[in-house]
Amino acid sequence: MRIATWNVNSITARLPRLLAWLESSGTDVLCVQETKCTAEQFPAAELRELGYESAVHADGRWNGVALISRVGLDAVVKGLPGGPEYDGVQEPRAVSALCGPVRLWSVYVPNGREVGHPHYAYKLQWLDALRTAVAEDAAGSLPFAVLGDYNIAPADDDVWDRAVFEGSTHVTEPERAALAGLRETGLVDVVPRPLKYDHPYTYWDYRQLAFPKNRGMRIDLVYGNQPFAAAVKDGYVDREERKGKGASDHAPVVVDLEV
């Protein structure tokens, strides 16, 4: 079974590449973030033609998440139970479902913007709510994983130059402590060091030739419980999909399981 996560940075803009990638990669379930469309605008019909069902949680703003599966979508939950609001709205940043033999979450963790900003406090509150929401499944016997754009680099070597990020979000101790809190529920980073590339970043800014210079960050993660981690046989960042015209600024992260 092949499972992937990908921040597509607008599913409308990325649709031709997304459809081609699904066909060429043989992915069974794709967790999508930053759809930037309403649920009604989501390309469910085009995906259905390829044999995929969709569970979408989106409102047309800059966020939005989805699960795209050809192995089933059952017990769908849209939204983060107990999640905080920002500007009076509970943003569409999480969707979960049973996909064949595994339960998966697709999450788009708030960016945080800058340390001290209200969005940074919201990010930490959101991560705390995520920890509470996944704790039971994380400790369970069913293979379970939370995949997505976490907007946090777990360690200093997950950014191209730690000094550049000094004082910025994505690398602060409170954010990393929140990731540690997720791991305390029984989740582990199942693709910590993909073997395909020396520096397995998942995101590169569009500006200043960041991708050609490999000035990236590893912020798209797959956190699975022990049954899920035990089933993982391979994992990698599909860096090739970041290349060329019309690419997202994120690359897909792929895991292969024997379940």
Is residue 54 a contact partner of residue 65, using CB atoms and an 8 Å limit?
Answer: no
Residue 156 known to be catalytic: no
Binding residues for Mg(2+): 7, 34, 149, 151, 249-250
Instruction: Find the catalytic residue in 52, 108, 201, 223.
Output: 108
Which two tokens mark 99? Answer: 């996909």
Distance CA 28, CA 184 (A): 28
Clarify whether 250 is annotated catalytic.
Answer: yes
Exposure letters 30-40 (e unless 16+ CB within 10 A, then b): bbbbbbbbebe
Q: Which two tokens stand for residue 136?
A: 């039971």
Which residue among 120, 201, 238, 250 is the active-site one? 250
| CA separation for the pair 160, 28 (Å, rounded) | 31
Catalytic residue among 28, 149, 158, 238: 149
Is 57 among the residues known to form the active site?
Answer: no
Neighbour order of strands in the sheet with 53-57: 53-57, 65-69, 29-33, 2-7, 253-257, 232-237
- In this structure, the strands spanning 203-204 and 144-149 are unpaired
User: What tokens appear for 110 in the block?
Assistant: 């708030």
Which distant-in-sequence residues (6+ apart) come within 8 Å of 17 by Cβ? 241, 246, 247, 248
Residues designated catalytic: 108, 149, 250
